[in-house]
């Protein structure tokens, strides 16, 4: 008998999912537990593994279609088992269409996901390993269109990059954001892109995740009274500490030492002193949270996702660094669980990824505060010694922008929080090993 492949239950509150991509086609052999298709829910994008080995004999739900939990979306025939000729994949449904496939009459238990979360304290050594950089090459002549995400195409248009010169390392030669950034960082890119490609008139439908982001950002702006404050922070002490300890830290804990755990630890310390920034509005009441559930915004080729480090305030520095690296890596690999993108109380977002001074972030509802990290740069700074004498020195500085819901948090609260956050980083003395 063929094995039914069903839409899995991705959390108690999730009742349907949209198939965004089939990783195998009808007639292809499949191995048990290998990624078979990708789905998008209202909480997370994830790869779903094959429940058995054999041949993918039928695809019943096309890419772009939404199916309720336990709907049979495909069938796998065991090796050597006679079966009807493989059915071609149905035409893909338009993205964000309202088409929903009803569940099967006799639901089959959803296959368990094979991806398991590594302990937060010590993730696998390869978790933080960067992807191989894309090589710069001459334009590739091909009859098939270049595979890339809308984000990659937008960055390419803004930077005047001809994507035919970028070698993709993703599936089937797909050009990822890391490929494009590696290309932009290469010395050849500036000379190769002297003649920017012409603009292209095109209309493309929003992907499901992009549509959900658009809806939630607009809803957040309508709901909350957004206000922002910007602080410039001297990161020289942190830069020197990281440079001195990064090799030993990675050897001991199996994870690269980035700046994010320093920022996260400083934010947690400030939240302990000013818990109103870790609170949220619940009707006519203020809900103070007993833990800091720290959201870390991760930019993906296909959108933005905010995995959550739960109870981050009860972690050591090394555990915090490991948890952040683990969640970010699994977010890019579509291995997150729904509960790992829910329940946040405060969010960090790295708006300085492309070198900008700072960004003014939108609140991640129902949170009341979000902190945007600007680009780290060297700059001349006036230093005053104990006797009041001023000197000019070159320091590593960074701008941080705090976004708040002014319905709950006053400007004075925001200023006190940022002053403590700044002090934590500039006077850092805590051990990290």
Residue positions annotated with a catalytic role? 406, 410
The burial class, CB within 10 Å (0-12 / 13-18 / 19+), for 74 is buried
Confirm if 295 and 344 have CB atoms less than 8 A apart: yes
Cα separation, 302 vs 21, whole angstroms: 12
Cα separation, 361 vs 312, whole angstroms: 22
Q: b/e map of 144-180 (b: 16 or more CB within 10 Å)?
A: eebebbebbbebbeeeebebebbbbbbeeeebbbbbb
DSSP 134-195: PPB-PPPP-SSPPPB-HHHHHHHHHHT--GGGBPP-SGGGPBPHHHHHHHHHSTHHHHHTSS
Confirm if 160 and 197 have CB atoms less than 8 A apart: yes
| Region class of 352: left (phi > 0), else alpha (psi between -120 and 50), else beta | alpha
Q: Look up residue 427 and give its DSSP letter.
A: T
Confirm if 261 and 317 have CB atoms less than 8 A apart: yes
């Amino acid at each position: 008998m063929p094995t039914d492949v069903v839409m899995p239950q991705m959390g108690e509150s999730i009742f349907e999912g949209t198939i965004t991509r089939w990783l195998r086609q009808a007639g292809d052999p499949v191995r048990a537990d290998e990624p078979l298709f990708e789905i998008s829910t209202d909480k997370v994008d994830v790869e779903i593994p094959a429940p058995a080995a054999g041949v993918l004999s039928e695809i019943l739900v096309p890419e772009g279609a939404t199916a309720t939990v336990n709907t049979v979306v495909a069938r796998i025939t065991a090796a050597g088992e006679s079966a009807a000729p493989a059915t071609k994949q149905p035409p893909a449904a338009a993205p964000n269409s309202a088409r929903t496939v009803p569940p099967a009459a006799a639901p089959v238990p959803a296959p368990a996901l094979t991806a398991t979360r590594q302990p937060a304290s010590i993730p696998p050594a390869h978790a933080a390993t960067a992807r191989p950089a894309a090589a710069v090459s001459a334009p590739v002549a091909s009859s098939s269109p270049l595979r890339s995400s809308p984000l990659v195409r937008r960055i390419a248009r803004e930077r005047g990059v001809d994507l035919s010169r970028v070698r993709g390392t993703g599936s089937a030669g797909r050009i990822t954001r890391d490929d494009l950034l590696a290309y932009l960082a290469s010395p050849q890119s500036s000379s190769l892109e002297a003649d920017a490609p012409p603009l292209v008139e095109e209309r493309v439908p929003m992907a499901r995740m992009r549509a959900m982001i658009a809806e939630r950002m607009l809803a957040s702006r309508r709901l909350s009274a957004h206000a922002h404050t910007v602080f410039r922070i001297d990161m020289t002490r942190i830069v020197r500490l990281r440079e001195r300890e990064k090799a030993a830290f990675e050897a001991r804990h199996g994870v690269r030492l980035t700046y994010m755990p320093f920022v996260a630890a400083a934010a947690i310390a400030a939240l302990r002193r000013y818990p109103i920034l870790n609170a949220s509005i619940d009707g006519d009441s203020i809900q103070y949270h007993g833990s800091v559930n720290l959201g870390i915004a991760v930019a993906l080729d296909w959108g933005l996702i905010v995995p959550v480090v739960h109870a981050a305030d009860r972690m050591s520095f090394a555990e915090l660094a490991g948890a952040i690296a683990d969640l970010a890596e699994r977010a890019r690999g579509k291995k997150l669980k729904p509960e790992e993108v829910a329940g946040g109380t405060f969010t960090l977002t790295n708006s300085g990824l492309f070198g900008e001074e700072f960004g003014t972030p939108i609140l991640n509802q129902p949170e009341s505060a979000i902190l945007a990290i600007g680009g780290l740069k060297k700059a001349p700074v006036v230093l005053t010694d104990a006797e009041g004498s001023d000197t000019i020195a070159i320091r590593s500085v960074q701008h941080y922008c705090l976004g708040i819901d002014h319905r709950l948090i006053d400007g004075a609260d925001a200023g006190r929080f940022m002053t403590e956050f700044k002090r934590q980083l500039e006077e850092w003395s805590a051990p990290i090993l």
